[in-house]
Amino acid sequence: MGCLYLIATPIGNLEDLSPRAARLLGEVALVAAEDTRRSRQLLSHLGLHTPLTSYYDHNKSGKLPAMLQALRTGDVALVSDGGTPGVSDPGYELVRAAIGAGHRVVPVPGPSAVTAALVASGLPCDAFVFAGFLPRKAAERRSVLAQLATEVRTVVVFEAPHRLLATLQDIAQLFGERQLAVARELTKLHEEIVRGTAQTAHAHFLEFEPRGEVTLVIGGAPAAAEWTQARVQAALQEALQSGLSAASAAKLVAADSGWTRRAVYQLLERK
């Protein structure tokens, strides 16, 4: 019985492909690719002529029986269009089916936009949540972000460049003054990582149009017990007594607490 290799491929820089991954791509009987055009370019770069077949979200159901049949007669490599297969693609369904049919499943680690952006963000990496691609529709996107806004761990999501500005506005409203990093074109010639708040990142990308694949890393929420309404009010009072204006006090407390500036202002208005 054949083995299913889950081979991580470069997210931009071809030098990131491991020697083991290159060897296996030449040894397997078949490469199942999310995007056969990109995978064919990679195989060509390596001087390989391994047979390719497509396996992606819209044909996964019809292709699954054929993939299992291929595994009965030889080894198969699963690759995404960049990064680690099974992360934000239908690869896990093939993995589950292969395990169920008794085949060995072997990960071949390598490039990942998730971990590359996370470790370069400057935000805590000891615990994080990866939520995949944000929904395309604005209302659904805001609903997902609202759920993630209370997450105390670092949050990682993918977003399309043409929706980035709208998403940063949503994050500013829902996450407040929390720190984040916007990583785009990782490992490529025009790699860029913008660190700051959603507001500062939004201002940057208003001036410089975002292009290429985008990974967002957002700092986790403070533990709820740390910043109760009473504590926020106390911090506001202290800031005002130190001589800060209402606007400056609200901005300072929002940055420290993770509350949105609007919510802090509402507490000021109640006084």
With respect to residue 92, please indicate whether it lies within any of the assigned structural domains. Answer: yes
Give me the chain's average pLDDT, please. 94
Q: Higher confidence at residue 265 or residue 128?
A: 128
pLDDT digits (tens, 9 = 90+) for 151-178: 999 999 999 999 999 999 999 999 989 9
Q: What is the CATH number of the domain that holds 146?
A: 3.30.950.10
9 Cβ contact partners less than 8 Å away, ≥ 6 residues apart: 17, 21, 39, 42, 79, 80, 82, 83, 110, 111
Domain with 241 in it: 229-270
With respect to residue 224, please indicate whether it lies within any of the assigned structural domains. Answer: no
pLDDT digits (tens, 9 = 90+) for 258-269: 888 888 988 888
251 pLDDT above the threshold of 80: yes
- Choose the final residue of a domain: 54, 85, 111: 111
The C-alpha angle 1, 10, 86, rounded to 5 degrees, equals 50
Do 93 and 21 form a contact (C-beta atoms < 8 A)? no
Counting residues of the chain whose pLDDT is more than 90, the rounded percentage is 76
Q: Higher confidence at residue 215 or residue 59?
A: 215
Distance CA 121, CA 183 (A): 8
Distance CA 227, CA 259 (A): 8
With respect to residue 177, please indicate whether it lies within any of the assigned structural domains. Answer: yes
Tell me: do 172 and 235 sit in the same domain: no
What average pLDDT does range 90-109 have in this prediction?
96
Do 157 and 88 form a contact (C-beta atoms < 8 A)? no
Question: What are the tokens at 137?
Answer: 């529709």
What average pLDDT does range 40-45 have in this prediction?
97
Tell me: do 129 and 177 sit in the same domain: yes
Number of domains in the chain: 3
Q: What is the pLDDT of residue 224?
A: 55
What average pLDDT does range 27-38 have in this prediction?
96
Q: Give the 3-state secondary structure of residue 157.
A: strand
pLDDT digits (tens, 9 = 90+) for 52-66: 999 988 898 899 999
Helix (H) or strand (E) holding 43: helix 36-46
Helix, strand, coil fractions of the chain, as percent rounded to 5: 45, 20, 35
pLDDT digits (tens, 9 = 90+) for 178-199: 999 999 999 999 999 999 999 9
Q: What is the pLDDT of residue 150?
A: 84
Look up residue 132 and give its DSSP letter. E
